[in-house]
Structure formats: structure tokens, C-alpha cells
Structure 1
């Protein structure tokens, strides 16, 4: 029988070979420094991006109310840029929304703005400008700012918040200060077709609104300053933008803004906040119209 051309198997020795690049002690790299088991030279493994190429979604640490992981240097600079743009947008929109004139109105020929102009100006400032900063200047992805699917726990919490708000909405809609103010477009309370158009366009407005407050501001500030300051700052801006509405709503908006900011960080997304906010607005408009002397249309 012919001998096999394969070489004989190597004999195992009783001694364990050292890993290349390791020191005499297991788990230590070169020069006796602590290493990472199973990695060459004791190097720690790099954090892998998720399927969308985004960084790992921020995780809320309830004990310290900070986001993990955080890099103080670059994250503080990004948070400062987010805060600067956010403050400028809030200041300009507060001034624009508090008066009925068009952005292109002049003292000689005053012109009143339309609902379409109101949407265009607000959605541009709330959605487009933050996206330009995130994608252009900061070179990041929107999913780093909560523009991604939320956790199931966040959706359950949003449903609980909605259930808790239903009695409040029902009671508040019975007061003249509210049903004389809502819907924002008085024509929506007179025509069912226009009401549907108004709610659809208002829904897109709420998407831009929640992206700005619970996405761009909340996540952008939390990575640099911590979760508690981020929630507080965006809630203050949220309340300021409600100035001019019924006074109980202005006071309640600060609390609601803080709760929505917490929900966004808890669910790693602003989408539950958007659905919750839009649903409450839609229900309240229906209740306010129904509470009027004329009723629904």
C-alpha cells in the first residue's frame, strides 16, 4: 500500500503557546498594560455601527441622567451648535407666530399670512434648518438624533400618556377660552372637507415640530450636556413657543414638554411623541368644535 503524500500530523506539546503580542500574564498587553482578551496586542474592539450605519442609539442612565457613551470634547461642541441654532429658530418663530402679518409684509402695504405660508415658514425652520446642520456641518445622520424606529416600550408608554390625557382634553374643551381658540383655522370648524385638509397639513407640522424639539434638540443636547439639562432646555423652548395660546395651555406645555423629552430618550426616537402630540391635537379640535353652541359642522 502506497504511503500518503500528506505530512504527518503535528504532535501537540503539553505547553500552551503564548498569544502573539501578549505579555507574560494573561489579559495583559505589551508593557504589562491591561489588555482585551482575544484581541491582538490587547486592543479593545471598536464599537460597531448598527444596520443603518448609525452610532449606537443613546441609552438613558436613570441613576446619573446622562447618555452613555459620551465623549465630552466633540459632543460638547456639537451640543453648543445645536443649542445656538435651536435658540435662533425659537426666537424667530416666536416673533413670527405671535403676529398675523406675512413675512413679506411691509409697513406701507401690510399683508396677512395664509395657512400655507405659516406651514412653509415653520416647517422650513423646524425641519430643514436642523437637517442642514446635522447632515452638512456636523456630518452626522438623523438617526443619531432620534430619527429612527422607537422601542415597543416607548409606544406602550405613549398609549398610557394618551389615556391619561383624554379626561383632561374632554374637560378643557368645555371652556370657552379653548373652544373659541381651536381649531387654529376657524374655517376648519365650519367645513368638514377643510377640517380634513387642515388636520393632514397640521400633522406634517407636528412631525417637524417633534423632530425639532424631541429629536434635534433633545438628543443633540443630551449627548453633550446630559439628559436632564437637555430635557429642561427643550421643554423651556417648547413652552415659549406656546405663548399667545390660552394661559392654562402655556403653563401645561412646560410639563408636557419635559414628559415628551423623557419619552423620546426612553424610546430612542421622537416618533411616539409625534403620534401622541398629533392625536391629542386632533381629538381636542373635534371636542372643541363639538362643545360649541353649533356643534359639529
Structure 2
């Protein structure tokens, strides 16, 4: 990687390289086809979601995310067969896929949720547990993965502020926030957002539900930190020494699959967003930019939706 290159030059060179190799055509063709089948036939919501409440759902999601990732990994390694022997490649890719698959299921918290009789309490407990489970099932395993692969010069969890200034992140964030504002006028957008609907919650434990909303938003924001760590950290920065800049291609594929349960517009935009954030992570060797942009977009969508209700 040419670290001395300006960021925009780095992006332009990488795009040209991926275009020349035909990666864009195959990636977009693959994702266009899978997006169509998923949203037309509602595959994830009708087939995957019911299995998420059972332990067998973990294995189904491993196949689901594995299909997304390894289909595109075959593309970037078609002339690099020796790289299939890389222990680092298998360790990180399978580690991330298993972490995502455990995170996608909720069989281990379902009994707790069902034990709550009050429907408003139950809604609140479900929201808090769903958004805090990744602290235990993803954050701790991710820490072990990071300690195994980190280089001496790496910042903790790849949280480095060195390469790109905050003003650059703000400039990247503003147009995306504007698009989120426009999307908030869609009825389908308001079905999903805000992700925490205060009128359905309760003042559990004597704590006002508005305070519970802010507790939830904090946990919700943390979710995006681990998403950035898994996708842009482990799969991009962690695998850069194996795959180079091509590490972003299979990452984008699986990142898009992660959004199959979201509105169609989010699934489509995740392709461009995932690609750009992947390049940003390679250039800066940091996930700070991705965390800032991801959390900024997510919270802005919640805020705009709340204002529209």
C-alpha cells in the first residue's frame, strides 16, 4: 500500500484496478441477483428469521454468510491458489462468519423475553437484550482475534486518528445524512425506524422510558463499533497482508447480506458504503472513520424518523 498517496488518489487507483480485473461486474451481478431473490421472495424474513430462535439457526446463518463471502473470495483468488493455504485467511474469515451467525440468532435470550408478562416491559427487555448481546458474543471473541493478528504499530482495536482529519469525515457524512433525511419521508422507512419506539416501551424499574431510549441508543451505537471491527477491521485490515486491496470485495458481499433484513434502499446503499469504508480502513489502518460515519448515519435515521412520527 502506498501510504504517501493522497486519499482520493488511493481511491481512484483502487477503483481502476478492481474495474480492470472485472471485480465490479461480477460483484454487482452477484449482489443484484441475490438482492432480487431475497426481496422478491422475502427469503431472509420468511426462511431465516424463524430459525433465529433455535440453535440450528447458527448453522443456517453460517451457510448464508459463508455463501456471500466465499463466492467473492473465489473471484479474487482465482489466479492465487496458494493463498487458500493461508491460516490467517481461514482463521479470520471463519471467525467473523461464526460471530455474525451467533449474533443473528437469539435463542439464548428468548426464554428471558417470554418470561416478562407486561407487553411494554417485554418490548423494552427485548430491545435492550438484543442490542447488548454482542458485548458478550462478539466483542470478547473479537478481542481475542485482534490480539492474535495485530501488528506492533497498530492502535488498540485499530482506533487510530492519524491519517484523516475529522473534518473529512464530516464532509463525507453530510450528503449521506441528507439522503437519510429524504428517505425518512418514505412509509417503508418509518416501518423500520426509529428502531426504538418509545410509545411501546415502559418506565421499567422506575426509570423513565425516555431515559431507556438513550440507554438503548448507546447500545445501538456500540453495535456499529463491532460491525466496523468485524468487517473493516478483521476482514479488511486484518487480511490486507493476504489479499491486499482485494480484501474489500468479499467483505462488501457479506456486508450487503447483513442488510438483507433492512429496507431495500439500505441493502443497495450498503454496497457502495461498504466498499468506500473498506478503502478508508485500508488507507488509514483504522476503523475510526467507519465508526463515525456508521453511527452518524444510523442515529440520524433514528432522529429523522422520530421527528416524522
TM (normalized to structure 1)?
0.63
Taking the aligned partners of 1:76 and 1:203, their CA distance within structure 2 comes to 34
Taking the aligned partners of 1:270 and 1:89, their CA distance within structure 2 comes to 18
Query: CA 1:135/1:90 → structure 2, altered by over 3 Å: closer, same or farther?
Result: same
Alignment of 1:1-297 (within 5 A): 59=3, 62=10, 63=13, 76-94=86-104, 96=105, 102-105=107-110, 114-136=126-148, 138=149, 143=154, 147-153=158-164, 155-187=166-198, 191-228=209-246, 230-292=247-309
Q: Which has the higher helix share?
A: 2
Counting matched residue pairs gives 222
Secondary structure, counterpart of 2:158 in structure 1 = coil
Consecutive unaligned residues of structure 2, counting only runs of 5 or more, are 19-81, 117-121, 202-208
TM (normalized to structure 2)?
0.61
Deviations 1:224-279 (A, max 9, x none): 11112x11222222221212111111121122111111111122210111011111
Taking the aligned partners of 2:132 and 2:211, their CA distance within structure 1 comes to 21
Query: CA 1:92/1:197 → structure 2, altered by over 3 Å: closer, same or farther?
Result: closer
Secondary structure, counterpart of 2:164 in structure 1 = helix
Secondary structure, counterpart of 1:210 in structure 2 = helix
Consecutive unaligned residues of structure 1, counting only runs of 5 or more, are 1-56, 67-71, 293-297
Greater relative contact order (Cα 8 A, min sep 6): structure 1 or 2?
A: 2
Secondary structure, counterpart of 1:88 in structure 2 = helix
Larger Rg: 1
Q: How far apart are residue 148 of structure 1 and its match? A: 3.3
Taking the aligned partners of 2:287 and 2:4, their CA distance within structure 1 comes to 14
Secondary structure, counterpart of 1:252 in structure 2 = helix
Answer whether contact 1:148 1:269 (CA < 8 A) is retained: yes
Taking the aligned partners of 1:263 and 1:146, their CA distance within structure 2 comes to 16
